[in-house]
Copies of this chain bind each other. A is one copy, B any other.
Amino acid sequence: MLKKERQAYILHQVNLHNKVLSSSLCTEINVSEDTIRRDLYELAEEGKVIKVHGGALSHSFNQVYFPINGVYSQSQKKSIAQKAVGLISDGMFVLTSGGTTIIELARSLPPQLKATFISGSIPAILEYMHHPNIEVILIGDKISKNSKITIGTEAIAKIKQMKVDICFLGTNAIDTEHGITDNDWDVVQLKKAMIESSKKVVCLTIAEKINSVQPIVVCGLDEIDMLITELPADDPVLKPYVDAGIEVL
């Protein structure tokens, strides 16, 4: 069998089944595994396949596109995210809500971090999936098309079964009187469950949302362990929260 022929066969198989194993190919074509590996290497060089440990994957199926729309206050959110990643270390179990701040957090994760991220937010999950070393656990249930997050009793029950190290909440509104408030009943139920199931609750928000109120209460200030904004920790706006016993970053 000619080399090109062999490579054509391999490529064909990859395109057909989205995945091939070196081991099965070498028995099919009856050549050594080294030859297969070299073929896969060459095909990968040409961008025809994606080489992985043990075989190869098709290129077309493997890339999930995701929209990069203009995020509001992106630079502030980036700086919040960078403060937040410092709280995550190897081996941790991390629960996150949805929201653009969380997305920024996901994008800011250092590539060598090995942790487990749990979420019901589709955009967040997409980001986590691109990370090489983190495990991703998806909370299932009905999807809310508005918030792009899974909502419902199943999701809440699943969250309540857990006890994770840390939980990051993208926050819509926070003030000293009511604590965290939001405007979507289902999302609030989820966040409540998340807070209950976490050893540490970290609230991420841009300064703009501080001291604003939304209709539905998520939790009081006493349930929040940390508050992260783009402001320096000693900014006067944050003083009431420090006084309430929240660690501010």
Contact = CB atoms under 8 A, between A and B. Distances in A.
Contacts of A12: 65
Contact of A4 (B4, B52, B71, B138): B52
A2 B55 contact: yes
Contacts of A58: 72
Closest CB pairs A-B (n = 8): A140-B140, A8-B65, A15-B72, A136-B143, A138-B140, A139-B140, A4-B52, A17-B172
Interface residues of A, number: 70
A183 B143 contact: no
A117 to B, nearest CB: 10
Contacts of A136: 142-143, 145
A183 B22 CA distance: 13
A228 to B, nearest CB: 17
Interface in A139-195: 139-143, 145-146, 148, 150, 154-155, 158, 172-173, 183-184
A57 B4 contact: yes
A87 interface: no
Contacts of A62: 8, 146, 148
Interface stretch (A31-39, A78-86, A104-112, A122-130): A122-130
A126 B2 contact: no
A145 B57 CA distance: 12
A21 interface: yes
Contacts of A128: 143
28 contacts: A2-B53, A2-B54, A2-B57, A3-B52, A4-B52, A8-B61, A8-B62, A8-B65, A11-B65, A15-B67, A17-B209, A18-B100, A24-B215, A48-B66, A58-B72, A60-B70, A61-B71, A61-B100, A62-B146, A62-B148, A64-B126, A120-B140, A122-B126, A137-B141, A138-B142, A138-B143, A139-B140, A140-B140
How many copies make up the complex? 2
A5 interface: yes
Contact of A57 (B5, B18, B120, B150): B5
A208 interface: yes
Interface centre among A125, A145, A212 (most CB of B within 10 A): A145
A244 to B, nearest CB: 23
Contacts of A50: 4
Contact of A60 (B64, B71, B173): B71
Interface in A187-216: 208-209, 212, 214-215
